[in-house]
Structure 1
């Protein structure tokens, strides 16, 4: 067994993830030297520590007695997992942006290559007590991003996280779950089936050895890994106090893109998102193209403008359309009246009337021509300077 790998396995068992002191010692004497410092309870030569830090070193020394890194590695292998350390081909170098708070190692389970998966990745996180609107948005965004070749990263929690993972997998796309517990501990228990499917098709990520149970601090600490693995984070629903907002804070600190989906103004799960949207630097997104434009490469991933529906009258040539638009909404009109209003010669009007009648736009009336019921019901296209409306939402949504 590689001594450095075994040392990192032990360190991940005795210290909380991302401890700045432990990373400082690792930088100073390496993983094996750090394990020896923990074993003796004394800092390595040449490294000054405060009294508070020395107490932490003593705490790790006591915990090391119960650590069993060889057993952890054996259980990991039995479950088809692996330990990935800095410098390994699968180690995502974006984690190094965390500096003194980077992971010591990662315990992975699942066939997907973590580093490769995260080259084009977006985090989607949000409220555990999500609304049906939020669940729908998260799943749709994840599925559409997966269809476009992007990996969805989230935290495996109830609500928005689970919806994002499921949406990506429904589109046969890769997804990464960063857990606050060992990858063999199904938490929350209701997501056990989701985790099993991810272990079969994607990848589960943990900073803690197998068998580790979660506690509150680790949920907040793991958010830094979610932010670091992704090019940007999308927040879909968040209350005033929310772990999702903590992820956004880490993303901003790491110079990643912060995006948010607007929610219902009457919902408490929108309070945090709307507060985030009022902060400088947050990008409002409503569809996957806008997410890709925000995190993609300049000039390659621009979001296309929303397209309005193409109506039958849009396919008419300009002269024929001008004759059609000269018709009154109610009543009838004769050729002379239409010619005057459209500014078109009478012979041209007579020719266009035949075309419009054949197309079902107009019909004969007792004293001329009139619009058909279908033509009256056809919606008018928006003015050129109108604000585009998202398909499926009413104009005042």
Structure 2
């Protein structure tokens, strides 16, 4: 088993400037949380439960030095699967490399012990991030009311116009726009907030040092100046479909309310809306033309999930200031737990495959953050569905 040094001296040496002005215990905790950012994929409830029960450093010690052990909400089977997911990613050089990168590009490491930590994310429970990497500052955002504004990437001119009006109005009311820096509605909302000089926050699905999409790199740099660009993933991490879906839970949790401006029937924005409803956050949706497929998802939220119709900034502000009463039950598009898990982990395996180069099961498991056994089973299913195939030296995406 690998050697893991979680002493205060080792933690401070690795953290460098990120360790000041922490106490020894805080430095050890922060260093362990950086490790967890490498071991567990975003939203890993098993990691969250283990950290919540033991603390970040003791939980890491247990994973490294003991056999799979039932702890907290993990029974023997869950512990065995969790250990199998995490142990292939135990790489001290990757941890130190991400810390060096963060220092070079000016990212700040935030942990729950930091005064700037956004406490709203704690509502995610075991799905909450273990740490955050921030380019910019969350201090200005903490003094405002954050409101999440999301919608389709393939937005219409109507959708972008409404998103800009709402975002500008949120800024005029003293609020801060939270979104995902994507094309379409996200970009329109961020740019309007920047134009009126209000703080704005962008949560990325990759490392906070990787502007994605690259076409919005200039805007993302402006967001870092006026507010913050945030990611729970270590610097250098690539965005994947799974990580986009998990990123959405942070956008929903950060906002005092979530507004979906424009969304198709199966838009990813409904995933954000589902997280908001599950957290008990007020949920709003902007009506569009009944003939527009780009607004079908918004109409679905209004009809099936008791979203509030939003037509102007005052509506948004009222939504954020009121108690909200989103309908209970499963969010839009949610399936039963077994099927949802199968879909989620299948997406992670697909993300880890390449369409051009063969990869071994071990490489795919490490990339997906899954055990070898689970990865092998999912690859077999993907092969039957025609989504993956065996090559000369491994697997590749079909």
TM value normalised by structure 1:
0.71
> Does the Cα contact within 8 Å between 2:151 and 2:263 map onto a contact in 1?
yes
After TM superposition, list the pairs within 5 Å mapping 1:292-307 onto structure 2: 292-296=317-321
> Does the Cα contact within 8 Å between 1:128 and 1:161 map onto a contact in 2?
yes
**Runs in 1 of length 4+ with deviation above 3 angstroms?**
43-48
> Does the Cα contact within 8 Å between 1:10 and 1:68 map onto a contact in 2?
no
Residue matched to 1:341? none
Q: CA deviation at 1:40?
A: 3.2
After TM superposition, list the pairs within 5 Å mapping 1:316-331 onto structure 2: none
Q: CA deviation at 1:29?
A: 1.6
1:187 equivalent in alignment to 2:204:
no
Quickly say closer, same or farther: Cα 1:297–1:241, change in 2 above 3 A: closer
Counterparts of 1:238 and 1:65, CA distance in 2? 40
1:33 equivalent in alignment to 2:33:
no
Quickly say closer, same or farther: Cα 1:275–1:291, change in 2 above 3 A: same
Q: CA deviation at 1:59?
A: 2.3
Counterparts of 1:59 and 1:158, CA distance in 2? 33
1:8 equivalent in alignment to 2:33:
yes
Residue matched to 1:62? 88
Q: CA deviation at 1:68?
A: 2.4
1:291 equivalent in alignment to 2:316:
yes
1:209 equivalent in alignment to 2:234:
yes
> Does the Cα contact within 8 Å between 1:95 and 1:229 map onto a contact in 2?
yes
Count of aligned pairs between the two proteins:
297
Deviations 1:30-79 (A, max 9, x none): 11112122323634575553424412312211111265223322321222
Pick the aligned partner of 2:46 from 9, 14, 21: 21
Deviations 1:56-112 (A, max 9, x none): 312211111265223322321222211111121011111111111111111111134
Counterparts of 2:70 and 2:270, CA distance in 1? 40
Residue matched to 1:133? 158
> Does the Cα contact within 8 Å between 2:140 and 2:199 map onto a contact in 1?
no
Counterparts of 2:92 and 2:294, CA distance in 1? 42
Which has the greater radius of gyration? 1
> Does the Cα contact within 8 Å between 2:141 and 2:199 map onto a contact in 1?
no
Quickly say closer, same or farther: Cα 1:268–1:297, change in 2 above 3 A: closer
1:81 equivalent in alignment to 2:107:
yes
Q: CA deviation at 1:297?
A: 5.7
After TM superposition, list the pairs within 5 Å mapping 1:1-397 onto structure 2: 1=12, 2-40=27-65, 42-43=67-68, 46-47=71-72, 48-65=74-91, 68-113=94-139, 116=142, 120-296=145-321
Consecutive unaligned residues in structure 2, runs of 5 or more: 1-11, 13-26, 324-398
Secondary structure, counterpart of 1:247 in structure 2: helix
Quickly say closer, same or farther: Cα 1:134–1:96, change in 2 above 3 A: same
Counterparts of 2:240 and 2:277, CA distance in 1? 25
Deviations 1:303-360 (A, max 9, x none): xxxxxxxxxxxxxxxxxxxxxxxxxxxxxxxxxxxxxxxxxxxxxxxxxxxxxxxxxx
Quickly say closer, same or farther: Cα 1:6–1:66, change in 2 above 3 A: closer
Counterparts of 2:153 and 2:210, CA distance in 1? 19
> Does the Cα contact within 8 Å between 1:40 and 1:61 map onto a contact in 2?
no
Consecutive unaligned residues in structure 1, runs of 5 or more: 299-397
Deviations 1:283-312 (A, max 9, x none): 0010001110111268xxxxxxxxxxxxxx
Secondary structure, counterpart of 1:121 in structure 2: strand
Secondary structure, counterpart of 2:96 in structure 1: helix
Counterparts of 1:113 and 1:222, CA distance in 2? 21
Counterparts of 2:79 and 2:292, CA distance in 1? 44
Counterparts of 1:129 and 1:226, CA distance in 2? 19
> Does the Cα contact within 8 Å between 2:48 and 2:127 map onto a contact in 1?
yes
Counterparts of 1:166 and 1:27, CA distance in 2? 38
More helix by share: 2
Secondary structure, counterpart of 2:116 in structure 1: coil
Higher relative contact order (Cα pairs below 8 Å, separated by 6+ residues): 2
